Chains A and B, each alone.
Chain A
Amino acid sequence: MDARAALIEPLIPGLRRYARAWLRDAATADDLVQDCLERAVGSWRKRHGDAVRPWLYAILHNLLVDHGRRQARRGTPVAIDTVADAVLAVPAEQSTGIEHSDLMRALDILPADQRAAILLVSVEDLSYAEAAAILGVPTGTLMSRLSRGRDRLSELIGAGERPKLRRVK
């Protein structure tokens, strides 16, 4: 039991951070982390010696994706077009430094699999192999999601290329 705690608990701050980065809403994010931990404790034996960190992140990731699907079915409170407009509404003179809110909004617009790749690598600092295992894809696929995601992000933030934002659907 103690061994389990020693392996799981050090990872909780990172798991909360990953969920928060996906959802922004702290309460919902923590609910999903809680769910993830309960499942992990409940199915600890079924882990079959897999490394704990990618295993936990994979459980959480799947919960986040499921949650996203349920939300989508219920109807998104903010239409995607509005979000895109919000990103467009960045003051034109803001050229030095990158606003957090810009990056946040840009991340939200990214396709989920590209966002996941960026968050797992950039925020959680997981190895490419671990991130690929979490998402259940080969490392090559992870690399191209990461690459495309980062390109798209630069495009959305627009290094002086704001008109490109018009392409956001």
Chain B
Amino acid sequence: MTTPIGEDDLMAWVDRRLPPERHAIVDGYLADNPDVARRLALQAEHRAVIAGMFASVSIEPIPSAMRVGTIVSHHQTRPQWWQAIAAALLLAVGFGGGWGMRNSTLPPRAGIGALAQEATDNYRVYAVDAQRGAEFGPQAQAELVNWTSERLGSRVAVPDLAAAGYRFAGGRLVATPHGPAAMFLYDGPSSTRLAVVTRPMEIDKAARMTESADGDLSRVSWADRGVGFSIVAARPTTELQSVAETVRRQSQRV
């Protein structure tokens, strides 16, 4: 049984991007449908002509103003007016927001507090799901590391918490308002699930270890050299602290 021909097949035929086995099937279809074959042959011709029309632009030498070095030196020597406005706005938001939220219970939107909340939210979705919580199981650790490192744009390592009694149970990429984060899951004593969530930090590039709680979950969060960590589990904070120390020691060795 073959999959029916779709417009995606026809476009891939025009672009010569069909895998060989599919190509034969589409060729067979075109042999039976000369009208379509004519149309596609014309479109392939158009494709070549259009590609040729603008080819000369790409061999023009690029203007020196477009060199990244030139742009960077501009940025550094002359702060632009919009940067000044952006800075002023940030200050205003910082003061106003900080004052406005002095009594509020809104979750923090940035920094280490935000990371703890993101880790907690993702914990509640994924960590409780024993079957499908992890995208990559413990046996696919290398793939998980490659994938998350690439998406986070920095090298990520899976902490080894066996000494603390937590067995690595896989991990996944999770979404946060600050971009992707890596989440590693562990199975601990009396079927406790523990999560280590890590992502690059824009604001709190270095922050000391902070404990917090959300319902039944305890969190220990910190940031080192631009990378934030948050440990989440339904265990007493004191127990998480020793785990956090282990993670921190290992991350500093990477």
Interface stretch of the complex, out of A14-22, A71-79, A83-91? A14-22
Contact A153 B46 (CB under 8 A): yes
* Chain A residue with the shortest CB-CB distance to B154: A49
Interface residues of B in 125-172 (CB under 8 A from A): 150-154
12 contacts between A and B (CB under 8 A): A1-B68, A9-B67, A12-B66, A13-B59, A21-B54, A41-B71, A42-B75, A48-B151, A104-B53, A123-B50, A151-B43, A159-B42
Contact A37 B66 (CB under 8 A): yes
Is A70 in the interface zone, CB < 8 Å from B?
Answer: no
Given the known A-B contacts A143-B7, A147-B7, A151-B39, are A103 and B50 also in contact in the complex, defined by CB atoms under 8 Å? Answer: yes
Give the residue of B8, B53, B200 whose beta carbon is less than 8 angstroms from that of A48: B200
Question: Majority SS of interface residues in chain A?
Answer: helix
Chain B residue total in the interface (Cβ 8 A)? 45
Is B45 in the interface zone, CB < 8 Å from A?
Answer: yes
Residues of the B chain whose Cβ atoms lie less than 8 Å from the Cβ of A38: 71, 74-75
Is A28 in the interface zone, CB < 8 Å from B?
Answer: no
Question: Majority SS of interface residues in chain B?
Answer: helix
Given the known A-B contacts A5-B68, A8-B68, are A121 and B46 also in contact in the complex, defined by CB atoms under 8 Å? Answer: no
Contact B153 A47 (CB under 8 A): yes
B57 to chain A, nearest CB (A): 4
Residues of the B chain whose Cβ atoms lie less than 8 Å from the Cβ of A62: none
Interface residues of B in 13-70 (CB under 8 A from A): 14-15, 17, 38-39, 42-43, 45-47, 49-51, 53-55, 57-60, 62-63, 65-69
